[in-house]
Amino acid sequence: MHTVITGGAGLIGSHLALRLLDLGHEVTVIDNFSTGHRANLDQAIGHRKFALRFGDITDRYCLGSLNAVTGIVHLACPAAPAMYSQMPIETLRAGSQGTMNALEVAESHGARIVLASSSDVYGDTTTHPQTETCRGAIDPLGPRSAYEVTKMFTEAAAIGYQRSEGVRAGVVRPFNVYGPHMWRGDSRVVPAFCAAALEGRTLTLHGGTQTRSLLYVSDAVDAICAMLECDEFGPINIGATEEISIKELAKTVIELAGAGDLEVIEARQADAPSRCPDMSRAAEILGWTPRVSLAEGLALTVDWMREHRDGPEAAA
Ligand SMILES: NC(=O)c1ccc[n+]([C@@H]2O[C@H](COP(=O)([O-])OP(=O)(O)OC[C@H]3O[C@@H](n4cnc5c(N)ncnc54)[C@H](O)[C@@H]3O)[C@@H](O)[C@H]2O)c1
């Protein structure tokens, strides 16, 4: 088995790389380190079955001369709201040209390809919890549009290559994945809260009543591995059904860190009031349900961030 992971230096990709090496795969990571970090791959670098290519997925050249590829997991894309807001063009390119490049490699190698879409394809839907058949309410000019549209394009490209070229594509829609390898400076809610609390700062909440379901990264990796092994297209939600309000999340993090306090400010425009997946399809098709509770996952994340305070500052 030779699996290529685009965006493999990021949160999900780096954990996936380690898991696949444990399972005996040869693993090639392609990453431009725009939001990911080489340090996330410290345990993989030097492994005889591991290769790291520094390159941009939008550049076909960085995907050339690969040993026979059996699987591709396409993750390369800025994923934090602060990043894709600052980098709309890079986000659109990674999700369009980058996705087409990854699909073409899958086609030429006859490989299975799993592509990361996102719960953001549901936009501002009022359906709750979100089933995969739910049609998203997306504003093409809204503050999140580059990311939302990119993920819709990713899905459209995947089904297009499957229908017209017979590519064995599969699509997953992750919901708020968190865990170790999110560094201080990552603006996503869990690392932002953990970093602020560990430094004894104030956790600023926009609103605070909005709810999220958070998935620990090892569970996301289990789901992606199951998707890689099957031939389903999906799309399949991968997330947790346990919902928590942002305020409760902040309080839990403050308790685990033993420091920090709370400040509530005005809610952001286009911040979905709730995000919670319907997980029936994942259970039925992948035989997968999350195993790590929120309490356990948050404790592991706070501990990891406490131990890695001096690591690379995430870009935003
Ligand atoms: N983490 C989540 O909560 C979540 C939720 C929904 C969807 N997703 C999707 O899953 C995927 C992985 O998410 P993540 O949390 O690991 O994100 P991440 O930002 O930690 O990792 C993304 C990786 O892609 C790399 N990258 C970005 N653009 C690139 C390009 N043009 N060429 C090569 N590499 C590039 C970055 O350097 C980074 O290492 C993304 O596609 C994201 O949209 C994640």
Which amino acid belongs to residue 255? E
In the reported structure, the alpha carbon of residue 167 is separated from the centroid of ligand 1 by a whole-number distance in angstroms of: 22
171-183 residue pLDDT tens: 999 999 999 999 8
| 125 pLDDT more than 80 | yes
| 104 pLDDT more than 50 | yes
Mean pLDDT in residue range 242-264? 93
Q: What is the DSSP string of 219-266?
A: HHHHHHHHHHHS-----EEE--S-EEEHHHHHHHHHHHHT--EEEEEP
User: What angle, rounded to 10 degrees, do the helices at 294-307 and 189-198 form?
Assistant: 60
Measure CA 221 to chain center.
10
| 135 pLDDT more than 70 | yes
| 312 pLDDT more than 80 | no
Q: Which of 70-74, 78-82, 192-196, 280-284 has the lowest mean pLDDT?
A: 78-82
Residue that has been written with the tokens 């709750």 in this structure: 128
Q: What is the pLDDT of residue 206?
A: 85
Q: Is 78 in the pocket of ligand 1 (CB under 6 A)?
A: yes
Q: What is the pLDDT of residue 186?
A: 87
**Index of the ligand 1 atom closest to the CA of residue 119:** 6
Mean pLDDT in residue range 216-226? 98
Torsion of CA 20, 21, 24, 27, to 10 degrees: 80
Mention every residue, 6+ apart, whose C-beta is less than 8 A from residue 175: 119, 212, 213, 214, 215, 237, 238, 239, 240, 275, 276, 277
Given 147, 161, 178, 216, which residue is catalytic? 147
Q: What is the mean pLDDT of the chain?
A: 93
In the reported structure, the alpha carbon of residue 75 is separated from the centroid of ligand 1 by a whole-number distance in angstroms of: 5
| 314 pLDDT more than 80 | no
In the reported structure, the alpha carbon of residue 8 is separated from the centroid of ligand 1 by a whole-number distance in angstroms of: 8
- Torsional sign, CA 300, 304, 307, 313: negative
| 315 pLDDT more than 50 | no
Mean pLDDT in residue range 121-149? 89
Q: What is the pLDDT of residue 147?
A: 95
| 296 pLDDT more than 90 | yes
Active site residue 147: yes
